[in-house]
Amino acid sequence: MDTTVYRPLDPADPADAAGTPAAGPPAVRARSLRKTYGTGEAAVHALDGVDVDFEQGHFTAIMGPSGSGKSTLMHLLAGLDTATGGHAFVGGTEVTGLGDDDLTRLRRDRVGFVFQSFNLLPMFTAKQNITLPVELAGRTVDTAWLDTLVRTLGLGARLEHRPSELSGGQQQRVAIARALIAQPDVVFADEPTGNLDSRSGAEVLSFLRRSVRELSRTIIMVTHDPTAAAYADRVVLIADGRIAGDIADPTPESVLAGLDALRTLELPDGDRSDKAVRA
C-alpha cells in the first residue's frame, strides 16, 4: 500500500523534506519546527527547521544517532515540550501554541504514549492500567474495543495481575493497550524495546505492527535500533536536527545502509553514530 522507495534526499528541496503524503490528510505534521536550548554562543539547535508528514494508518520509525534530535522531535509533535519556532499539528489541531489544559486534553483524547520503561502504575492491575486514560477522561470503557485490544495483544490471562507480576514484554503490551484504549489519532512510542530482551522486543514490535495493520492505528516510534525500525512501514532518518533521509518498506539492511550513508555524508567524524550502528 505504500509505494515510496528509498532515494537519496536533497535537503535543499522542500518537497523532499516534507515527505511523500499518501492518501488522506497526514495524522501528524511538522513545519519548520525548531527547538533551541540555551542562548547566544552556547545555543544548541536540537531541531533546526524540520518539515515532515506522518500518514494515517502507518507505522513510522524515526531513527537517528544519539543527539540527532529524534526524541526532541517526538516531544514537540506530542505536545510534551514547547517549540522555539515553527508549527506541529496532530490531525487538524496545531499543537504548538496550545495551553497546558488543551495539551492535557489532546494527550488524553487524541495521543497515546508507550514508554521505554513501561511506566505502569504499580498499585493497579493490568486492566485498571489499560482503562485509566478513558476513566480520567470521565468516559465509559468501550468493552468491545477493550476485548479487541486484549485479544490482539494476547493479554487475556493477565488482566488481573499487577505490573510486578508481569514480564517486561507483558508490561509493555499492557502499556500499548493503554496507549490505544482511547482510540487516539496517533501513538508515540519512545524506544519501546529499549528495556526488553530481543525476543520480547520482537514480540512487542510485531504487536505494534499488528495494531497498525489490523486495528488501523497510526504509530510513530523513536528508536536507534535498525532491527526495530525494520518493523515499520517507513523510516524517517534524522541527523543534526534535520531530516536526513526517508526509507520506505525498510529492512534491517536498508536501514543500516541509510545510517551508514548518514555517517559518511552528514557526520564525517562519525563519533556520535556508534549507537545507531551497533545493532
Partner 1 sequence: MLRLTLAQMRRSTGRLAAAGVAILIGTAFVAATLLAGGVLTRTTNDAIAARFADSDLVMGGPQAFAPQDADAIRAVDGVAAAEPVTATSVALEAGSRTVYQMAVPAPSDPRFDPLEVVEGALPSGPGQIAVPQDVADRLGLALGDEVANVRYVWDETDPEADAEEVRDELTVVGTLDDPYGAYAQMGGAAVVSAQDAATWAEEEGDDGTAPAVMVALDDDASLEAVRADLLAASPQDATAQTPDEYAQEAAAAQTGGEEVFTYVILAFAAVALVVAALVIANTFQVLVAQRTRTLALLRAVGANRRQLARSVLTEATILGVLSSLAGLVVGAGLVQVALLVARGADLGVPLPTTVTITPAVVLVPVLVGTFVTVLASFAPARAATRVSPLEALRPADAPRAGSGAGRVRLVLSLLLTVGGFALLAGGVALGMSGSPDVGLLAGVLGGALSFVGVVLGAVFWLPRVVGVVGRLLARTGPTARLATANTLRNPRRTTATSTALLIGVTLVAMMSTGAASARTSLSAALDDQYPVDVMVIGNGADGTVPQDVVAAVTAVEGVDDVVPATDLYAELPDGWGLAPTAVDPTEAAGVVRSPDTIAGLEPGTLLVPEGELQNAGLRVGETTRLTGPDGQTLDVVVALGSSETSLLTTQDARALAPDATTTRLWVSVDDPSDTDVVAAVQDAVAESGTPVEVVGAVVERAAMQSVVDTMLAVVVGLLGVAVVIALIGVANTLSLSVIERRRESATLRAIGLSRRRLRWLLAMEGMLIAGVGAVLGIALGVVYGWAGAATALSLLGDVSFAVPWRDVAIVLVVALAAGFLASVVPGRTAARTSPVAALAVD
> Which residues of the shown chain bind partner 1 in the complex (CB under 8 A)?
71, 75, 80-81, 100-101, 104-105, 107-109, 112-113, 115-117, 119, 121-124, 132-133, 135-138, 178-179, 182, 190, 194-195
Residues with Cβ within 8 Å of 208's Cβ and at least 6 positions away in sequence, in order, are 59, 114, 176, 189, 192, 219, 221, 231
Give the span between the Cα atoms of 126 and 1, in whole angstroms: 35
Give the span between the Cα atoms of 227 and 39, in whole angstroms: 37
71 vs 172 by CB, closer to partner 1: 71
41 vs 101 by CB, closer to partner 1: 101
The conformation of residue 163, written as its DSSP 8-state character, comes to: G
Give the span between the Cα atoms of 183 and 142, in whole angstroms: 10
CB of 100 to partner 1, least distance (A): 6
CB of 145 to partner 1, least distance (A): 16
190 vs 233 by CB, closer to partner 1: 190
CB of 95 to partner 1, least distance (A): 13
Compute and round to an integer the Cα radius of gyration of the chain: 18
Taking alpha carbons only, the member of 261, 236, 268 closest to residue 70 is 236
Residues listed for the chain? 279
CB of 132 to partner 1, least distance (A): 7
Contact of 176 with 211, CB cutoff 8 Å? yes
CB of 24 to partner 1, least distance (A): 26
135 vs 214 by CB, closer to partner 1: 135
112 vs 241 by CB, closer to partner 1: 112
